[in-house]
Amino acid sequence: MSGERARIAADVREGGFRELLEAQGAEVEVRTLDVADFICSERVAVERKTRADFEKSVVDGRLFEQLRRLTECYPRVVVIVEGEEGAGMLRRESLLGAYSSVVSDFGASMFFTRNPERTAELVHAIARHEQLAEKRPMRVTGARKGLTLAQNQKAIVEMLPMVGPKIADALLRNFGSVGGVFGASEEELLKVEGLGKTRAKAIRNTIGKEYVPPASRRGDAP
């Protein structure tokens, strides 16, 4: 077993990790992945974010959409937050709420690493455990299931910031439909068990505030 090498698929955006992972002893395939930054086995996908990107992805809701897609395709999802300095975009309460949502709403595991070298070490360790210790095969394409009407409704609600499967289910049960959720006031949202003020405000801001195209914002390139 000591001479065997684990295979890791890395997304092209993480191509800089090839050398780091190969230095750990991995066999690396860099390719365009539909979801995740690294695939370690048929069941484990890894999403890597710097601390600054993690905060940005919480603010714009991208993180929760990524997690929804990941958990549809892979039974085990790992989120690695890399670096020692955050962007300062989120208050500690909001940041802890986002961490809680990753773990509690999406069932993902979270790890924190200091730098890319430590990230590569962790990704390689996961791949070795899956492929060499547990004998699980490597499979890049996650098996995405066809969705029912209820699953599609949940998927739409889960795209709201800081909303995972459990909160989406609670919102739909409480308001009866996607339209009911989107039409709820902040005060009505606060009555949903487990939602909380931070999530309620983020949801209402996303639904109710005027859309400003990115190119129209000050400092953005046309």
Rounded distance, CA 165 to CA 153, Å?
A: 11
Does domain 7-133 bear CATH number 3.40.50.10130? yes
* pLDDT recorded at residue 112: 96
Scan for tokens 């890597």, then name that residue: 48
Q: How confident is the model at residue 142 (pLDDT cuts 50, 70, 90)?
A: low
Rounded distance, CA 210 to CA 13, Å?
A: 32
pLDDT tens digits for range 14-24: 988 999 999 99
CB atoms < 10 A from the CB of 19, how many? Answer: 11
**Pairing of β 27-31 and β 7-11:** parallel
Q: How confident is the model at residue 214 (pLDDT cuts 50, 70, 90)?
A: low
Query: pTM, whole model, 2 decimals?
Result: 0.67
Which CATH fold would you assign to the domain 149-208? DNA polymerase; domain 1 (1.10.150)
* Residue 144 or residue 113, greater confidence: 113
Half-sphere exposure of 39 (CA within 13 A, CB side): 24
127 has pLDDT over 80: yes
DSSP string, 57-94: HHHTSHHHHHHHHHHHH-SEEEEEEE-S---S-S-HHH
Q: Mean pLDDT throughout 210-221?
A: 57
Q: How confident is the model at residue 3 (pLDDT cuts 50, 70, 90)?
A: low
Nearest Cα neighbor of 190 from 181, 198, 200, 180 is 200
* pLDDT recorded at residue 124: 98
Whole-number percent of the chain with pLDDT over 90: 55
Residues present in the chain in total = 222
Q: Return the domain boundaries, the chain.
A: 7-133, 149-208
Topology match between the domains 7-133 and 149-208? no
Scan for tokens 């603010």, then name that residue: 59
* pLDDT recorded at residue 131: 94
